[in-house]
Chain A
Amino acid sequence: MALQMISVRGLEKSYGDVRALTGLDLDVAEGSVLGVLGPNGAGKTTAVSIMTTLLRADAGSVSIAGIDVAEEPSRVRSIIGLSGQYAAVDEHLTGFENLDLIGRLYHLGNKAARVRANELLERFHLTEAGSRPVGGYSGGMRRRLDLAGALVAKPRVLFLDEPTTGLDPRSRNDLWDVIRELVANGTTLLLTTQYMEEAEQLADEIVVIDSGRKIAQGTAETLKTQTGGDRIEVRIDSELDREKTERILASVAVGEVVVEGRVLSAPVSGGPRALSIALRNIDDAGIDLSDAGLRRPTLDEVFLSLTEAETHQLKEAG
């Protein structure tokens, strides 16, 4: 089994009355990517802050590469890189000066810091902008510079807190490419996001958190099947066929058939097979369709259904 690079157990944190984390567990194996997905206020930043030594937990433990963050924060700091939710760059310094300063503060030595700064500027397509003060950078450039800052000391474990929030789609895609490249080189990555698509694109495994704890875990694929799975959706030409179609769909469905005007949909398991049976029966009955297909839930729907179920449970409990 691969080494656990990040191991989080029973993490709790409150800000006064606000319970930000209520018993969070996480594991990330060396060289893998964990996507932590959760809505605003779910506790993502709080969790990342604790894992990166910036905040102390009320209870629970975190170890990074086997080192306890509460006991040896400076050793942890020297093997991790963090790019937080808001770009941690100095507006008045140039891109180069920012990275050079970070390298010096990592005690790389002045010459090595300089070399590393130039290396990273090139890798993040900032060489040209590198001699200009950061105050004039776009949001995407700042993000890239901040990510470069997180990589100065070649960390073994990288934390990215909502790396693409607020970026336009193009900058987002650019940043995704950079992140994929890092991961291909073996960096262990924990990434938080509010976007299902981002987690699906980048992460090996996804943990969904809400109200400070884990509510689901798995690959994008398993999460999709866990919550509802596929649906057959057909559109009938004539209103008169509605009842007959509904009966046919009900015979292959695993749940209730939903009718909305001329569109009927039914949850099924074993999607493609159920679809072909249903279509054959509809055809045999002489019903004309203007559209038919198998719909898999988008991850956003999965996410919504998971967080809604959670809210519902909480309401019932409290």
Chain B
Amino acid sequence: MNRTRLAFADGFNIARRNMIKVRRVPEILISVLVTPVILIVMFAYVFGGAIDIDGGSYREFLVAGVFAMNVVFGATFTGAGLAEDMQKGIIDRFRSLPMSRSAVVFGRTASDVVYNVLTLAVMAGAGLLVGWRINTSFFEAAAGFLLLLGFAYSISWVMALVGLMVPAPEAVNNASIMVLFPLTFLANTFVPADTMPTALRVFAEWNPVSAVAQATRELFGNIPAGTPEPTAWPLQNPVLYTVIWMVVLIAVFAPLAIARYRKVAARS
């Protein structure tokens, strides 16, 4: 077998191990499966009735935003999981094995894609229950989900680096609240950006999370008829803008995270 195949096999086996842990640690299962459902239902009933959108249903508008927020927050698992691994005894075993040096990080980001697939599945189910609908073709809808997963994957690499830099797993949660909260709220995830004060609006328009939400809304057909065309370039080309962010984030953070892992694992 050649090196690339071995590296893939190693990454797969690490991901498989992370998935076994999900079954044993109920907190993870709750965050992956229960919290997103609560968020969908809560947002739909708390804000859904209070906010009106011209010519459409706020609930339909909202659901894609909650999708985007949740998969972005899912990246916290990547960071916390890696930080925890680095503290536990098992990392010493991994270090002494003739396995690929990047497998621990690759395997971790891969298992988080599985988390996100599960999260999206239950959120979509909950969304359908509160009145969200896909109004486009199967392929457009599939593209919407893929875009969400892809963007989440790129954020996973950012959090992977964070997880390998912090002294303890708890610090990842702080970092994620400091970074991911503004990123997901200063965006059009829950309300259209047009009503925000100028500085905030510009930030929201160029925020990649807004583009993800906008792109999925378009791909699911959740943009109410009569909504004015966005004026900012990122929101006019949300799919392209999201893909650019994905590629850049992965190209920058994947090598950094892997290098950081090697450095931490070498401890010299």
Please indicate which of the listed interface residues A75, A84, A104, A105 has the most CB atoms of chain B within 10 Å of its own CB.
A105
Tally of contacts, chain A with chain B, CB under 8 A: 75
B10, B20, B266: the one contacting A105 at CB < 8 Å is B10
Q: Point out the residues of chain B lying under 8 angstroms from A25, CB to CB.
A: none
Contact in complex: A54, B89 (CB < 8 Å): no
For the complex, give the distance between the alpha carbons of A104 and B96 in Å.
14
With A54-B267, A55-B268, A133-B24 in contact, is A91–B97 under 8 Å at CB? no
> Is A290 at the interface (CB under 8 A from chain B)?
no
Instruction: Identify whether the interface residues of B are mostly helix, strand, loop, or mixed.
Output: helix
Contact in complex: B93, A77 (CB < 8 Å): no
Q: Point out the residues of chain B lying under 8 angstroms from A36, CB to CB.
A: none
Contact in complex: B9, A107 (CB < 8 Å): yes
Interface residues of B in 10-44 (CB under 8 A from A): 10, 13, 16-17, 20-21, 24-25
> Is A188 at the interface (CB under 8 A from chain B)?
no
Contact in complex: A89, B89 (CB < 8 Å): yes
Contact in complex: B95, A54 (CB < 8 Å): yes
Min CB–CB distance B29 → chain A (angstroms): 13
For the complex, give the distance between the alpha carbons of A208 and B237 in Å.
71
* A 81-123 to B, binary, CB cutoff 8 A, 1 in contact else 0: 0101011111111000100011011110000000000000000
> Is A74 at the interface (CB under 8 A from chain B)?
yes
With A55-B267, A101-B17, A107-B9 in contact, is A90–B96 under 8 Å at CB? no
Min CB–CB distance B32 → chain A (angstroms): 15
Q: Which residue of B lies closest to A76 (CB)?
A: B98
A80, A84, A92: the one contacting B92 at CB < 8 Å is A84
* A 137-177 to B, binary, CB cutoff 8 A, 1 in contact else 0: 00000000010010000000000000000000000000000
> Is B1 at the interface (CB under 8 A from chain A)?
yes
With A55-B267, A105-B99 in contact, is A92–B93 under 8 Å at CB? no
Residues in B lying within 8 Å of A, measured CB to CB: 1, 6, 9-10, 13, 16-17, 20-21, 24-25, 88-99, 103, 266-268
Shortest Cβ-Cβ A-B pairs, 10 listed: A88-B93, A88-B92, A77-B98, A90-B90, A78-B98, A105-B99, A88-B89, A92-B21, A92-B24, A56-B268
Residues in A lying within 8 Å of B, measured CB to CB: 52-56, 74-75, 77-78, 80, 82, 84, 86-93, 97, 101-102, 104-107, 133, 146, 149
Given contacts A88-B89, A107-B9, 11 further A-B contacts (CB under 8 A): A54-B266, A77-B97, A88-B93, A89-B89, A97-B17, A102-B97, A105-B97, A105-B99, A106-B99, A107-B1, A146-B93
